[in-house]
């Protein structure tokens, strides 16, 4: 056998991860893979394995269910993420949060920068921090650059809820969790959000829990 290329270990690990089929186990906060910062994707998996990995991310995101999933969340330190949001929310929530449907997308080596200075603050959660949500103020609009799964360049401005999703997922690739950016006093169990803080905006939560909004 030829000696293995330096890329082999990562591709081998992804092969092993995909072998059982179905949704992948999601890594929870506390695992260093979520803090390490992911390696730039530069063909380490090859086109066929990349396609299978992306499909596994999609299945895992749907099963969770979630609106985005980054490779480190399944233990793979590559700068790859998927997003998709059917946005099944009431009209008033859609308007207040800009929660418009986001078709399925693959983000390869994404990075973002704010467009303008407007910030938006809403409750946000993470599949790697199950059971909890917190309010995060983020740039309302961002310019996202990178590539798609076929290597086609991506350069697009995102607004509304899709802007929040792409920031959250790109942050994962930099080893950042949403809690790092959250208002600590807004931390709420899912049940509390459901029962008390389901309003379209977090103003009541800010008053009663005692945190600031932008
Ligand atoms: Zn997350």
Domain CATH number, residue 111: 3.90.45.10
For residue 202, give the nearest of 142, 134, 119, 130 by alpha carbon. 134
For residue 185, report the distance from its CA to the centre of ligand 1, in Å.
Answer: 19
Is-catalytic flag, 91?
A: no
Domain count, the chain: 1
Integer Rg of the chain from CA: 18
* pTM, two decimal places: 0.95
In what side-by-side order are the strands of the sheet with 119-125? 119-125, 132-139, 188-189
Residue 119's contacts (CB-CB under 8 Å, 6 or more residues apart) are 137, 138, 139, 140, 214
Question: 34 lies in which domain range?
Answer: 8-209
Residues within 5 Å of ion ligand 1 by Cβ?
126
Domain membership of residue 214 (yes or no) is: no
Domain membership of residue 199 (yes or no) is: yes
| Peptide bond connecting 65 to the previous residue in cis, omega within 30 degrees of 0 | yes
pLDDT tens for the chain, 214 residues: list them.
Answer: 555 455 568 999 999 999 999 999 999 999 999 999 999 999 999 999 999 999 999 999 999 999 999 999 999 999 999 999 999 999 999 999 999 999 999 999 999 999 999 999 999 999 999 999 999 999 999 999 999 999 999 999 999 999 999 999 999 999 999 999 999 999 999 999 999 999 999 999 999 999 999 9
Domain membership of residue 1 (yes or no) is: no
Q: Which residue out of 169, 195, 203, 208 is catalytically annotated? A: 169
Domain membership of residue 2 (yes or no) is: no
Domain membership of residue 59 (yes or no) is: yes
């Amino acid at each position: 056998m030829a000696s293995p290329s330096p890329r082999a270990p990562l591709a081998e690990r992804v092969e092993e991860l995909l072998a059982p089929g179905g949704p992948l186990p999601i890594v929870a906060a506390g695992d260093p893979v979520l803090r390490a910062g992911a390696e730039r994707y530069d063909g380490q998996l090859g086109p066929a394995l990349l396609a299978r990995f992306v499909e596994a991310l999609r299945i895992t995101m749907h099963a969770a269910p979630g609106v985005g999933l980054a490779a480190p969340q399944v233990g793979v330190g590559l700068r790859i993420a998927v997003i998709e949001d059917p946005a099944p929310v009431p009209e008033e929530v859609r308007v207040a949060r800009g929660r418009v449907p986001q078709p399925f997308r693959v983000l390869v080596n994404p990075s973002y920068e704010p467009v303008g200075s407007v910030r938006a603050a809403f409750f946000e959660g993470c599949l790697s921090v199950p059971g909890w949500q917190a309010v995060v103020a983020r740039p309302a609009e961002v310019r996202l650059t990178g590539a798609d799964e076929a290597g086609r360049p991506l350069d697009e401005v995102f607004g509304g809820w899709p802007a929040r999703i792409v920031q959250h997922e790109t942050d994962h690739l930099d080893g950042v969790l949403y809690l790092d950016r959250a208002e600590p006093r807004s931390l709420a169990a899912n049940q509390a959000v459901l029962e008390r803080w389901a309003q379209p905006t977090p103003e009541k939560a800010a008053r009663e829990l005692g945190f600031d909004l932008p």
